[in-house]
Structure 1
């Protein structure tokens, strides 16, 4: 269980998160939705320790993440895939993947074969420079790299951004299958609210740093007034 309680964070005088509270249960996808500037990316960055909150907590089980050094997050089972497909282009696909296993600690060897089974295109590119990958392939690589850290919670920021609908559907289907087969907990920030709600179990809608509503994905998708006001579809 990932529990966020009264989380508040600022950039100088600007409050980006204002008392955000919700739970992301184990083995479920929780979609964080809202317009640009709603505080979605700041939420993930605060949970993963890249930004320190001015108030409130984020807890992963018994661990208060707001007091844990960022470099220990992987040891605790949290992986963060930020927006932007941050591959290391000077390294090969396989070298990028092996970096993801550095945070496993004592949890066993990296399962590169499983990563390649999940993303067959990466197996075909394993010895090639990451520089030559397409946008969709880079997104697959950063997700596979995060999974090699064997996380219990995956924070995923805008995975569909700039990708073809076919690639988005493939990535979202994979996330759904990982949740169902491995019990992975996913906190998914996504501008494409319709697609996110189609695979999510529940959702949290933010507006100007505050929670507007928390509910099941089905309830959010079926609320016409909410969708038109905050989700753009």
Structure 2
């Protein structure tokens, strides 16, 4: 796998002024999120803060009532999820959605099928099966096994690997650490750091494990009841004791 200089990436994700509703309930209100190429932005907050709705709105699963989503200057606001995925935004939702009837190899092949329609990922980087198995050696050991034999951590690795094979410029991750052992969380977060540092991929990471997320992220955004209450460098948010106690639970 090749490396890329994030500063040269034309695939800048812009999330500006998003408002989203579910009937009479406003789930997001005028939410803007910085997402620099080759960086990790952690989106934090309690349950019900609007974190998952944010990712679903960016990936086209929820149509915004206002605001704008663009990638590399291409307006994707309210576009169909298939068009957004083809443009280079890969969404890994909460729940480790592997197809358990298929093997690890077959799950990865599904990602490759979509990736074949998109010549390159961010900055010209291209992922192949050997490359994602290098990132996640546990999957190489279980390559031909049914996905239903994998542990929770291995399933999370598989869905991230499958997403990378779609050749994304942007990776949206919803609660990748949920229910996993700290050792596995550290492995997955280390891979995310490598993807941004070496490959220029933009990562938007939704997490309730705020402490770990801020350790790996460049920038943090804190949501509360659908609104942004803080945006700063991750290290600054982690050092803000009052903010942590009020919104992040540590």
TM tier relative to shorter chain = over 0.9
The answer to whether 1:178 aligns with 2:189 is no
Residue 97 of structure 1: aligned partner: 108
Contact kept? 2:118, 2:167, Cα under 8 Å: no
Q: Point out where structure 2 has 5 or more consecutive residues left out of the alignment.
A: 1-11, 121-125
SS in 2 for 1:24: coil
TM alignment of 1:43-62, pairs within 5 A: 43-62=54-73
Cα distance in 1 for partners of 2:42, 2:128 equals: 28
Residue 66 of structure 1: aligned partner: 77
Deviation at 1:102, TM superposition (A): 2.1
Residue 123 of structure 1: aligned partner: 140
Q: Point out where structure 1 has 5 or more consecutive residues left out of the alignment.
A: none
Moved >2 Å (runs of 4+): none
The answer to whether 1:145 aligns with 2:162 is yes
Cα distance in 1 for partners of 2:114, 2:23 equals: 32
Deviations 1:23-52 (A, max 9, x none): 200000000000000000000000000000
Q: TM-score, length-normalised on structure 2?
A: 0.91
Cα distance in 2 for partners of 1:100, 1:194 equals: 31
Deviation at 1:192, TM superposition (A): 0.4
Contact kept? 1:8, 1:19, Cα under 8 Å: yes
Residue 27 of structure 1: aligned partner: 38
Deviation at 1:106, TM superposition (A): 4.2
Deviation at 1:74, TM superposition (A): 2.3
Cα distance in 1 for partners of 2:55, 2:218 equals: 18
Pairing partner for 2:152 from 125, 135, 150: 135
Deviation at 1:124, TM superposition (A): 1.0
Cα distance in 2 for partners of 1:189, 1:22 equals: 12
Q: Which segment is superposed worse, 21-30 or 186-195?
A: 21-30
RMSD across aligned positions (CA): 1.1
Residue 24 of structure 2: aligned partner: 13
